[in-house]
Chain A
Amino acid sequence: MKLEMFHLHPYRDLPDDFDEKYRSVWVDVPSHLFDPVKAHQMYNDTLDELEYAAALGFDGICVNEHHQNAYGYMPSPNIMAASLARRTANTALIVMGNSIALYNPPIRVAEEMAMLDCISGGRLVAGFPTGTSMDTNYAYGTNPAQLREKYYEASDLIIRAWTDPDVFAWDGRFNQLRYVNIWPRPMQQPHPPIWVPGAGSIETWEWCLRKEFNYAYLSYSGFKRGKQVLDGFWKKADEMGIEKNPYQAGFLQLVMVGESESEVEEKYGAHAEYFFNKMLHVYPGFGDAPGYRTLDTIRAGLLAQTGRFGDRPPRSTWKDLVENGNIVAGTPDQVVEQLEQVSRDLHVGHLMLLCQIGSMPHDLTMENIRLTATKVVPNLRHVHAEWEDRWWPSFHSDRIEQRPMFQPHVPVQQAGA
Chain B
Amino acid sequence: MPSTQAPVAAGRYEIEVVEEGSGPPVLFLHGISGLQWSPFLDALAKDHRVVAPRHPGFGDKSQEELDTVHDLVYAYLDLLDALDLRGVPVLGHSLGGMIAAELAATQPERFSAVGLFAPMGFFHVDEPTFDFFACTPREMAAAFFVDPAGPAAQSSGEAGLMRMVQAGAKSEEGSALVETYVERAKTLATAAKYLWPLPNRGLWKRIHRITAPATVVWGKQDRVVPPAYAQDFLDGIPGAQVQWVEDASHELLLEQPDACLAAVSGVLGAASR
B-binding residues in A (CB < 8 A): 27, 137-138, 141, 143-146, 173, 283-286, 289-291, 293-295, 298-299, 302-303, 305-310
Known: A308-B165, A309-B169. A146 touches B193 (CB 8 A): yes
Known: A290-B191, A306-B170. A145 touches B58 (CB 8 A): yes
B165 touches A291 (CB 8 A): no
Chain B residues within an 8 Å CB radius of A286: 134
B23 CB → nearest A CB, Å: 36
Given contacts A298-B181, A302-B169, A309-B169, 6 further A-B contacts (CB under 8 A): A137-B133, A137-B196, A138-B134, A285-B139, A289-B196, A310-B138
A285 touches B192 (CB 8 A): no
Chain B residues within an 8 Å CB radius of A302: 169, 178, 181-182
B169 touches A303 (CB 8 A): yes
Distance, CA A359 to CA B175, complexed state (A): 39
Please report the number of residue pairs spanning A and B whose Cβ atoms sit closer than 8 angstroms: 90
B137 within 8 A of A: yes
Interface SS majority for chain A: loop
Known: A146-B67, A290-B133. A305 touches B185 (CB 8 A): no
A143 touches B192 (CB 8 A): yes
A-B pairs with lowest CB-CB distance, top 10: A291-B189, A290-B188, A285-B134, A290-B189, A141-B197, A305-B169, A285-B135, A302-B169, A143-B196, A308-B168
Distance, CA A146 to CA B63, complexed state (A): 9
Distance, CA A290 to CA B181, complexed state (A): 11
A145 touches B189 (CB 8 A): yes
Partner of B67, one of A138, A173, A298: A173
Distance, CA A183 to CA B178, complexed state (A): 50
Partner of A284, one of B136, B174, B178, B185: B136
B134 touches A291 (CB 8 A): no
Residue of A27, A284, A286, A310 ringed by the most chain B CB atoms within 10 A: A310
Partner of A310, one of B58, B134, B137, B178: B137
B98 CB → nearest A CB, Å: 16
B165 touches A295 (CB 8 A): no
Chain B residues within an 8 Å CB radius of A293: 185
Interface SS majority for chain B: helix
Residue of A137, A141, A143, A145 ringed by the most chain B CB atoms within 10 A: A145
Chain A residues within an 8 Å CB radius of B165: 308-310
B136 touches A310 (CB 8 A): yes
Distance, CA A27 to CA B131, complexed state (A): 14
Distance, CA A63 to CA B99, complexed state (A): 44
Chain B residues within an 8 Å CB radius of A305: 168-170
B168 touches A307 (CB 8 A): yes
B112 within 8 A of A: no
Interface residues of B in 133-147 (CB under 8 A from A): 133-139
Chain A residues within an 8 Å CB radius of B138: 310
Distance, CA A199 to CA B112, complexed state (A): 51
Can you name the residue of chain A whose Cβ is closest to the Cβ of B162? A310
Can you name the residue of chain B whose Cβ is closest to the Cβ of A24? B134
Can you name the residue of chain A whose Cβ is closest to the Cβ of B168? A308
B174 touches A309 (CB 8 A): yes
Please encode chain B, from 156 to 188, with 1 for each CB lying within 8 Å of some chain A CB and 0 for all others.
Answer: 000000001110111000110010011001101
Distance, CA A307 to CA B168, complexed state (A): 6
24 CB-based A-B contacts, threshold 8 Å: A137-B133, A137-B196, A137-B197, A138-B197, A141-B197, A143-B196, A143-B197, A145-B192, A146-B67, A146-B193, A284-B136, A285-B131, A289-B133, A289-B196, A290-B188, A290-B189, A295-B59, A295-B182, A298-B181, A305-B168, A308-B166, A309-B165, A309-B174, A310-B137
B106 CB → nearest A CB, Å: 22
Distance, CA A303 to CA B177, complexed state (A): 11
Distance, CA A290 to CA B67, complexed state (A): 16
Interface residues of B in 107-152 (CB under 8 A from A): 131, 133-139
Partner of A289, one of B139, B168, B192: B192
Distance, CA A137 to CA B197, complexed state (A): 8
Can you name the residue of chain B whose Cβ is closest to the Cβ of A290? B188
Distance, CA A283 to CA B139, complexed state (A): 12
B57 within 8 A of A: yes
B190 within 8 A of A: yes
Chain B residues within an 8 Å CB radius of A298: 181-182, 185
Distance, CA A173 to CA B169, complexed state (A): 37
Chain A residues within an 8 Å CB radius of B131: 285
